[in-house]
Amino acid sequence: MNLSGAVGLAVMSAVVVAWGVSLVSGYDVVADVNPEHMNLGPASAHWLGTDHLGRDVAWRLVTASEVFVGPGLFACLLALLLGVPAGAWAGWVGGLGAELVRYVFTVIASLPRFVLVLLVCAIYGSSVWTLAAAAAVAYSPAIAEAVYSRIATFRGREFVLAAEAHGVHWARILGWHLLWVNGKTLIARHALQLFAYFLLVETTLSYIGALEAGAGFGVPEPTPSWGNMIAFEWGVRHGNQWATWAPALAIWVVILGALLLADGLAEGDHA
């Protein structure tokens, strides 16, 4: 594996570890409020210090993984379920059926993604799961189109023809040889990009939601999200500056990590 892939894999592994730690830790976001410890700098008791309510920033950073890892994976799964079969089918049959399917996805893709997500949240509320579903729907055209063009390119290749002539069932050629053997890195790459996109959307909305309490966007306090952690500490005088910097850096590192891993996968891929 190349350098960007290795770095990306390390970051994503760290995210998964943080998620696991958070799930088993039983850290209580409310019980941790302690006015005696507010605005402390980094120290051995609190690795990244505390925020202005005296809560441990490092623990909140780890706990915030719960609002994007699970829903992010759900978003990936949903987008793949929507995009991959449709794109694969269109690429395989071609013709009018393919045009029809691609048209539907083009209509979805023509809406700006973020606006689509905001719209869904405004109507259906802003639980992270709704957010994940909206991001998945908004992202599925990109996946469908990528799978479509990959399958359509391979459809006419000699090895597909040869497999047909050898009596391999078409479903096996499409599902196994094209989608799995020759398409899995492409699909994984798009799933990672969606994961990065979902983290961006979730933290952005949580940030806006925490600044504008009436907007009702994103993850509400006291549940930590890297977005609302930044907003919550924004403008606190004589505060612990790590309480804003740490989540901001975490967003940057994880998005970069997901995209680097996607790039790393792209290198070995071909069409």
Binding site for other proteins (CB under 8 A): 157-159, 161-169, 177, 181-182, 270
Which CB, 167 or 235, lies closer to other proteins?
167
Which CB, 40 or 163, lies closer to other proteins?
163
Which CB, 31 or 181, lies closer to other proteins?
181
Minimum Å distance from CB 160 to other proteins?
A: 9
Minimum Å distance from CB 162 to other proteins?
A: 4
Minimum Å distance from CB 187 to other proteins?
A: 14
Whole-number Å distance between alpha carbons of 137 and 129: 12
Contact 139, 197 (CB under 8 A): yes
Contact 112, 162 (CB under 8 A): no
Which CB, 166 or 238, lies closer to other proteins?
166
Which CB, 15 or 186, lies closer to other proteins?
186
Structure-block tokens of residue 211: 């600044």
Whole-number Å distance between alpha carbons of 198 and 131: 8
Chain mean position to CA 122: 20
Minimum Å distance from CB 144 to other proteins?
A: 22
First-to-final CA distance of the chain: 19
Contact 220, 228 (CB under 8 A): yes
CA trace torsion 139, 140, 141, 146 (10° rounding):
100
Minimum Å distance from CB 188 to other proteins?
A: 14
**Residues present in the chain in total:** 271
Which CB, 74 or 89, lies closer to other proteins?
89
Which CB, 166 or 237, lies closer to other proteins?
166
Minimum Å distance from CB 49 to other proteins?
A: 50
Whole-number Å distance between alpha carbons of 245 and 72: 23
Query: Any alpha helices (H) in the chain, and if so which ranges?
Result: 3-25, 57-63, 69-93, 95-110, 113-124, 128-155, 158-165, 170-172, 184-211, 226-233, 242-267
Whole-number Å distance between alpha carbons of 147 and 178: 10
Minimum Å distance from CB 94 to other proteins?
A: 11
